[in-house]
Amino acid sequence: MKLETLTPLELGRKISQERMKERIAQGLPARKNPIEKSLEQPESLRRAITAKCYECVGMDDDPNYRESIRTCTSPKCPLFHLRPYQKKLSPDSVGKPV
């Protein structure tokens, strides 16, 4: 498959796979964790919130941290309604997941 014939999605996947291979070759995990991503873009509020939620659920102790963040049971947390990995809401629904 030539790079010229790839769709943008296929090209993005190919680049991502190559980056993973490079990280593994360097002895690093295949993917960066949310804290590492946040440190790369310290001005990003979204990445800061994701990193804080990741830290709160135990970081690397939980291999499925996204599900732990999604099912968070701390509604008094100031970030509860901002946490990542939630189902998208339809524009006409108020607080009802799609």
Per-residue pLDDT tens over the stretch 53-90: 999 998 877 778 899 999 999 999 999 999 999 887 66
Q: Is the pLDDT of residue 91 over 70?
A: no
**CB of 68 closer than 8 Å to CB of 62:** yes
Within 10 angstroms of residue 46's Cβ, the number of other Cβ atoms is 12
CA distance 35 to 49: 10
pLDDT (0 to 100) of residue 55: 93
In the chain, % of residues over pLDDT 90: 43
The model's pTM? 0.67
Q: Is the pLDDT of residue 96 over 60?
A: no
In the chain, % of residues over pLDDT 70: 86
**CB of 82 closer than 8 Å to CB of 75:** no
Average pLDDT, the chain: 85
